[in-house]
Amino acid sequence: MNITDYLSTRRKLVEQALDEFLPGADEYPNKIHKAMRHSIFAGGKRLRPILVIASCEIVGGTIKQAIPTACAVECIHTYSLIHDDLPCMDDDDLRRGIPACHKVFGEGIAVLAGDALLTFAFQLLANNCKLSEVSEHNALKVIAEISKACGTYGLIGGQVMDLESENQTTDLNTLKYIHQHKTGALITTSIRSGAILASASTQELDILTEFGNLLGLAFQITDDILDVEGALEKLGKTPGKDKQKNKATFPALYGLHESKIMAEKCINEAIGLVRPLGEKGQILINIANYILKRNM
């Protein structure tokens, strides 16, 4: 199966499951459920849930085992986008090609929709054994894994340093910290969680963790590049915001050309790590190349 077909079949499975799991738009209190669904079903590449599925399959698990965890990480990712778009954060009006949650439902409901998606993610994870065929032991390990990646040692830590670095001179270590936490943590934890669900060996988990770290960094470098070079119609969000907010980014520190070389270097290193996995690692190689070449 080529990468386009692979991504589109997995994306559809994740979207069907999200539709099944999430409270209906007409369930009381309707407004919050509509707001959650507005942002979840606005589109998106579904990269993180696809990584959960891919790594679960690589170590011998099934798509069915991975689906609730895949949906949980997409809910967490979407919560982070809703909050990131708020006027008190990055202040964006557009997300995934449509008005951001707070532009449609107001700031109060947008904050709550983000909170509700984060909470709902952990509800899914707590019910993992009922929803899919995973052991209680692995389900618990995944909860510990994902909660750490969402907190101050992950997403929140990265976002704090991102805010702190606005209008400041930032060194490479701080920039890497921001990228590895704000973006990388959820990408790495998606890959690790899929593998944990299928009882990966320590050796498999080590390789996948290192792969995830490099992929996460490359993903954010390409995101920085797209903020300079990308088009609104493809990105679904307004380009040029990083420069406007004087953000710490790779192009700001190294220029576009050097940033592209760095992203390619991360991707090649990541690919080198999973080559020894042979045929079953091929999908990760294809996903890595897709990330490097993406325009959205």
Q: Which residues bind ligand GRG (CB under 6 A)?
A: 44-45, 47, 77, 80-81, 83-84, 96, 155-156, 159, 182-183, 220, 223
Let me know if 25 is exposed, middle or buried by CB neighbors in 10 A (0-12, 13-18, 19+): middle
For the bound state, the minimum distance from the C-beta of residue 156 to ligand GRG, rounded and expressed in Å, comes to 5
Nearer to ligand GRG by Cβ, of 230 and 277: the residue is: 230
Q: Which residues contact 191 (CB under 8 A, 6 or more apart)?
A: 51, 52, 54, 55, 208, 209, 211, 212, 215
CA gap 141, 77 in Å, rounded: 20
Degrees to nearest 5, angle at CA 130 with 114 and 16: 55
Nearer to ligand GRG by Cβ, of 186 and 195: the residue is: 186
For the bound state, the minimum distance from the C-beta of residue 68 to ligand GRG, rounded and expressed in Å, comes to 19
Nearer to ligand GRG by Cβ, of 138 and 180: the residue is: 180
Q: Which residues contact 154 (CB under 8 A, 6 or more apart)?
A: 148, 181, 185, 186, 189
Nearer to ligand GRG by Cβ, of 127 and 239: the residue is: 239
For the bound state, the minimum distance from the C-beta of residue 250 to ligand GRG, rounded and expressed in Å, comes to 13
For the bound state, the minimum distance from the C-beta of residue 10 to ligand GRG, rounded and expressed in Å, comes to 14
For the bound state, the minimum distance from the C-beta of residue 95 to ligand GRG, rounded and expressed in Å, comes to 7
For the bound state, the minimum distance from the C-beta of residue 257 to ligand GRG, rounded and expressed in Å, comes to 21
For the bound state, the minimum distance from the C-beta of residue 223 to ligand GRG, rounded and expressed in Å, comes to 4
H/E stretch holding 20 reads helix 3-21
Nearer to ligand GRG by Cβ, of 57 and 223: the residue is: 223
CA gap 27, 30 in Å, rounded: 5
DSSP strand E in the chain: where? Answer: 94-95, 98-99
Nearer to ligand GRG by Cβ, of 57 and 90: the residue is: 90
Q: How far is CA 266 from the centre of its chain?
A: 18
CA-nearest of 287, 264, 157, 152 to 217 is 264
Q: Residues 138, 199: contact at Cβ < 8 Å?
A: yes
Nearer to ligand GRG by Cβ, of 83 and 247: the residue is: 83
Q: Which amino acid is at 158?
A: G
